[in-house]
Structure 1
Amino acid sequence: MGTSIGMIQKLKKIPIFLQFIQNMGPRYVYYRVFHEIEKRTGALKRRHPTDVPLKYFISWNDWKVSCKDFIFDQREDITTNVTPDLALKARFDKIQRGNFRFFFHQELDLGENYDWITHPLTKKVFSNQIHWSEIPDFDPELGDIKYVWEKSRFTYLHDVIRYDQSFGEDHSEWVKNEIESWIDSNPINCGPNWRCSQEISLRIFNWSFVLNFYRNSSHFDEAFWKKVQPVIYWSLHHVFHHIDFSRIAVRNNHAITETLFLTLSELLFPFIPETKIWAAQGRKWFEEEIAYQIYEDGTFLQFSTNYHRVVVQLLSLGLTLSELHKKPFSSTVYSRAYESLKFLYTCQDEKSGFLPNYGANDGALFFQLSEQHFRDYRPQLNALHKLLTGSYLYEDIALEESNWWGIKHENKDVNFESLQRRDGDYSFTVGGYYVIRDQESLTFIRCGSHKDRPQQADNLHVDIWVNGKNILLDSGTYKYNCDAELKENFEGTIGHNTVSLEHKSQMLKGSRFIWFFWTQCLQASIIETEESWEFQGKISAFRFLFGNCVHLRKIVKFKGSNKWTVSDEILNVPDNVKAYQIWNSDDFDQFQIVSDCVDYSKNEKFDKGFFSEFYGEFSEIKRLSIPLNTRKVKTTFAYKHE
């Protein structure tokens, strides 16, 4: 009955523009219009000039004497006991040969003389001679700009300093050459690598690690510092004078990264006079962003576990440096950091350290200071937990990334209680998440409202883990920029374990990161009985098709067994519109699935689905679509693992 829905869509006059204003707010709309005017009139170019004076403030020797209190002082003072790791050595050897790991998995050979502006997949070259405001975020011919940004983040420098620390070697000259090569290839405010203020902030954060680590190296000299210092200044200048874009138009982890960069500028670069103003404003904005973006129950406005980890790392950096310099943040920042820990720890699979691959995942891990798998959150949670409580979540030395974060300076005024695992049910009602932990299983349920922009059409999605394996999973993200049909398989409803009408999404997809007719929670609760836990949720969805459409879901998790029943009902939808329970898994062979007395265990019942664990990559999995006959269905899953 796809035709009937198509006719309904044509007949309905959907006030898209009014939806846009209602969802995003007049402040956002006004700013986007103003920003477009600035681009077209050249105001952005004037505020971010390309013909700039090269600013010098302090000599290299004076900086080495006056700078202090980074998360570590210098490599000679680092007490981290790191056992030489063969995987780290192999990766380091590849880096030296020009083979880099993109998004923490995909290996791409850039060569030893990479120009920093060539797309590694399309081989198209971005211009580094035009102003950054003229560079498109996505040009089908050039390719996804994130592939150009990835190396320019300099995250791989953490592999280099960890390698040198582990094996007692010194590759400061190679690091210096990498940074100088980037500076020579990226004139200030020109080209793709000046396009995004978050990328600029991360680059200077990561340079700060190596500037402090190698400060006593003979290769880090005055000539090198004269090249670096102006880039630091104009990077801060760029971020400060373009901060409204992140705080109004984007308002997510970008804004947190950039306002933290400004906040820490006076601590990292006190020799720059303007940092006193930039840091004062940055601190005010950073505290506002943390209070707004991390909800009272510790959930995060981006509805993404990986982006939430990004914020955890930024908090670890910010709390560490601010306490070292005796300028701690407000109590709200500490409390939201702690609540974030509680939420993520609750949603974590205990055996693997992984969290559901829920929400947008662009492969971000800003500071990889351990050798754990990209999806293992234990090192990052361990570091923040040690900062806030004085104790470790995990005692395994391999997970003690926190040793790099100067834990000796704990703020005794904000010691929180150590977190402990417990079986049972958890409700995070502000963000809209419900969790059941039972012996070897984890049941993660999304049922929430959207006052902030949704990332994916996934309301009432359920993620199930057994003994470290994600048996009913979220399809992931793949790429932000790909063809619409493939994108729908990841961001759309069919990429999640919920209900779809005619295999369409719960919300109407707009351009890029925009959805219309946001789903909203109407009711949600979870109770414990003697035999089970029972979740019940009710949402409004598919309103762009049927204005009063309601989806009801009941999930029962039976105690002491890997068995669940999921009952769904759709209300206020015409009889000729087909509804389906959608299930995504790469492990259906281990299931016994019974839906209203129908056996769905045979392979011919499955369709092709997709799963993306890492940005830019995907594999095929199985997808099961179970029809809701008479608008209702009850499905029982029993899982037997080896």
Structure 2
Amino acid sequence: MGMPNLWTKAYWLIREVGLAPLFSLAVYRLGLWSGYYRWRTPLGGRKVNASPPLRADVFVLPDPERLAKWSRLRGEDATLEAEEILAGQVRLFGGQPQSLNLKPPHPKRHWSSLHEEDVPGDIKQIWEPARFGWVFPLGRAYRLSGDERYAKTFWENWESFLTHNPVNAGENWLSAQEAALRLIALSFAVQVFKPSPHFDKKCEQSVAEAIIHHARRIEVTLAYARAQNNNHLVSEAVGLVLAAHLLSDWPEARRWRKTGWKWFFWAVEKQIEPDGEYIQHSVNYHRLMLTLALLAFRIAQLENHPFPQKHLNKLGLAAGWLQGVMDEASGEALNFGHHDGAHLLPLGGKIEDYRPILQASMAAFCGERCLPNGGWDELAYWLGYNPAILPLKDDRPVLHGFRRLGHSAEWASLRAHHYVSRPAHADQLQVELWRRGCRLVCDPGTYAYNLPPPWQNGLALAEVHNAPMFNAQQPMLRAGKFLWLRWDQARFLEEGEDEKNSIRAERLAYHRLGIRQERQLEWKGDGHWQVIDRFLPLGSGAVSGKISLNWLIRDGEWRLDEHGFIVDDKRYQLLVRVTSQPIQKMKFRIVRAGQILVGEKINEIDSLLGWFSPTYLTRLPALSFWIETEAGLPFELRSEFQIYSK
């Protein structure tokens, strides 16, 4: 489906997004066009006349013995990643090691003259190393060993950053959010490397001045963050609060603190839904928000700053929501919504493990824990909490937008949400299926925002998710890379009985076509699941068309025979059998890693099929089992899943 015309887009923007964010965006663009931002943030920055004192108390530094124990519990080499960094290699987005590069393409141009599209490749490949997220494995290794190579490597790279990224020049000053997130890493570096002789007075002065320039950069374009009304606003608000804390005696700190707390509390109030779901409808952005909130709460405690109970309650709900979408056996979670690889505090587990942020958030905002003690407790300790002494919460929250069937060792989820904020992916009625920490039926994830087509957020489309489509119609209007309009709404249909074995939901998107769409998820017993998709006419007239369904299955050896689609991996055999009522001739296709293995090419969507992306710029082969048929309504598709352990 092409982009909507200008008037259609304007109508739905005003109706669904609202005038206030559009006004804030207009203010931001006026600031760019008029040269106001260039004037407020001149190349080289406004002069800093004195070096203010620098605080170093945001984190609580665990003793080396405890750090070593946590590493053993996770089965990790405690210094492996730090040694890679000494060799010039970093794991961006939690992926494979690659060369550390802090040199932007346009280091002499003012940030306001730059655009993300000016960069060859994906601009996030420039931004991510300059967030300095790799300081955490370095600092952790330094804390463990006292080896000065780790401190020396960080401060050498910090000097390199200052050399190649003059204040307000180049891509690493383009986004105020990136400036805010860089401050988090700096606050950690200052504290953990403080005993090192490599952190001398000159180094301390350079950090203090950088914090000032970063806070000034954040402050001037808050209109853009308010227009986005998402993690940008939370990041930048916390960035200002953090800058004010680190330089509490600096004259501008009072203003930064006031502005930061104002917009942080506003965001907590407005961006977290009643069941705890975050405004961006994304598990990874949910973690990002909780991480920023933990830092804000820590600073509030250090400064005795009021933190209203109503906001603590909201954040407690958000922590519970994460528990509701996480697999207890693995610590992984639903691959739901956008995933840009953000992992601000990688202390306690790898990027795919959500147990560290869950344990820390429950400890901070609820005064309890929902997991047994383990290596994932580490993040909580760095922030001043000891989960071991907290009571264990053993119930799972009820979520508005997701329902689960099964138990902790085998479960499936169904998505049905009523949107009051912009959807991320066209993923209503999405089903995921798990068995003993193994994700068998998948959501494809994100992969990339800014690479050549189709990798410009292409995995947000309905075709790559697993709710059936009618006549290849997108359920929403796609008005931009990150913008859906005419939102696809869904709701759960209450059966008036205990929903332990069956849940049912309705999607409203195709009402405009005169069609009612329902999905029912049934748990028949361990290893046996069924999904029933129904298309029903809303009126009395005849309705017919093409119905397509895509099941994304974990990669493995496969075959398609009279029994169905069978996939073998090292642990399980999964049998998927699809039938229809009334019986119709169906076409089957198998696509792996964008390559058609069975069936005919349909269109450019084929290159997006058969991929699973666990984090940004990482994509793994998976198997798309595509079913297509022509049918008159009413019509029913039944997908049966049987899991056999090896």
TM-score bin (small chain):
0.7 to 0.9
Q: Which residue does the alignment assign to 1:373?
A: 350
Task: Tell me the distance in 2 between the aligned counterparts of 1:147 and 1:441.
Answer: 37
Question: Which residue in 1 is equivalent to 2:559?
Answer: none
Matched residue SS, 1:148: helix
CA contact 1:58–1:271 (8 Å) conserved in 2: no
Question: Residue in 1 aligned with 2:103?
Answer: 116
Q: Does 1:506 align with 2:503?
A: no
1:29 alignment partner in structure 2: 22
Superposition pairs of residues 309-328 of structure 1, within 5 angstroms: 309-328=287-306
Distance in 2 separating the partners of 1:356 and 1:212: 35
SS at match of 1:335: helix
Note if contact 1:445-1:460 (Cα within 8 Å) is conserved in structure 2: yes
2:68 match: 82
Instruction: Output the amino acid matched with 1:135.
Output: L
Change (3 A) 1:489 1:336: same
Report Cα offsets for 1:524-575 as digits up to 9, x if no partner: 4366559x522222222157xx455542222222344532232322546984
The equivalent position to 2:535 in structure 1, one of 547, 561, 569, is 569
1:630 paired residue number: 632
AA aligned to 1:496 is H
Residue 42 (structure 1) aligned with residue 35 (structure 2): yes
Unmatched segments (≥5 aa) in structure 1: 118-125
Matches of 2:200 and 2:383 in 1, distance apart? 26
Q: Distance in 2 between matches of 1:554 and 1:577?
A: 21
- Distance across 1 between alignment mates of 2:451 and 2:106: 22
Does residue 270 of structure 2 align to residue 289 of structure 1?
no
Q: Point out the more displaced range, 263-272 or 358-367.
A: 263-272
| 1:2-151 correspondence runs (5 A) | 15-58=8-51, 63=54, 67=55, 69-72=57-60, 80-83=66-69, 87-110=77-100, 114-117=101-104, 126-139=105-118, 142-151=120-129
The alignment status of 1:200 with 2:168, answered yes or no, reads no
Classify the secondary structure of the residue corresponding to 1:70: coil
Distance 1:390 1:484, change over 3 A: same
1:156, CA displacement in angstroms? 0.2
Instruction: Report deviation, 1:145.
Output: 0.7
Contact 1:463–1:473 (Cα < 8 Å) also in 2: yes
Quick one: structure 1 residues 87 and 81, their matched pair in 2 at CA, closer, same or farther if it must change by over 3 Å?
closer
Deviation of residue 88 (structure 1)?
A: 4.1
The one-letter code of the counterpart of 2:182 is: R
CA distance in 2, matches of 1:528, 1:564: 19
Residue 390 to residue 25, structure 1, CA distance change in 2 (3 Å): closer
471-480 or 314-323: bigger deviation: 314-323
Does 600-609 or 439-448 show the bigger shift?
600-609
Most deviating of 99-108 and 325-334 = 325-334
Query: Quick one: percent identity of the two aligned structures?
Result: 23
Measure the CA separation in 2 of the matches of 1:561 and 1:254. Answer: 42
- In 2, distance between residues paired with 1:103 and 1:574? 50
Amino acid at match of 1:469: C
Mapped to 1, the partners of 2:395 and 2:420 lie a distance apart of: 31
1:115 CA displacement: 4.5
Tell me the equivalent position of 1:586: 554
Q: Bigger shift: 227-236 or 593-602?
A: 593-602
Q: Which amino acid aligns with 1:275?
A: A
Change (3 A) 1:182 1:520: same
Q: Deviations over 1:154-200 (max 9, x none)?
A: 00000101111223323322221111111111111111001111110
Q: Is the 8 A contact 1:502 1:579 kept in 2?
A: yes
Length-normalised TM-score, structure 1:
0.86
1:394 Cα deviation after fit: 3.3
Which of 455-464 and 479-488 deviates more?
479-488
Assess, with a 3 A threshold, how the Cα gap between structure 1 residues 505 and 138 changes in structure 2: closer, same or farther.
same
Q: Which of 230, 233, 236 is 1:252 aligned to?
A: 230
Q: Please, which moves more after superposition, 299-308 or 578-587?
A: 578-587
- Give the Å deviation of 1:318: 1.8
C-alpha distance in structure 2 between counterparts of 1:220 and 1:469, whole Å: 45
Amino acid at match of 2:68: V
Q: Amino acid of the residue matched to residue 564 of structure 1?
A: Q
Q: CA RMSD in A?
A: 3.0
Deviates more, 1:89-98 or 1:393-402: 393-402
Q: CA deviation at 1:82?
A: 2.2
* Corresponding residue SS for 1:235: helix
Deviation at 1:209, TM superposition (A): 0.5
1: CA distance between counterparts of 2:492 and 2:387?
A: 45
**For residues 468 and 358 of structure 2, what CA distance do their matches in structure 1 show?**
33
Segment drifting more, 180-189 vs 31-40: 31-40
Cα distance, 1:633–1:183 mapped onto 2, change above 3 Å: same
8 Å CA contact 2:90, 2:99 repeated in 1 = yes
Q: In the alignment, does 2:219 pair up with 1:240? A: yes
Q: Distance in 1 between matches of 2:136 and 2:334?
A: 26
Letter of the structure 1 residue corresponding to residue 532 of structure 2: V
Q: 1:417 to 1:133 in 2, by over 3 A?
A: farther
Q: Which structure 2 residues correspond to residues 343-422 of structure 1 after superposition, within 5 A?
A: 343-370=321-348, 372-401=349-378, 402-407=380-385, 418-421=392-395
Mapped contact 1:360–1:456 kept (Cα < 8 A): yes
Per the alignment, residue 579 of structure 2 pairs with: 595
Cross-structure match for 1:541: 509
Structure 1 pair 80–57 and aligned structure 2 pair: CA distance change class (3 A): farther
Aligned length: 602
Unaligned residue ranges in structure 2 (runs of 5+)? 556-565, 568-573, 591-596, 600-605
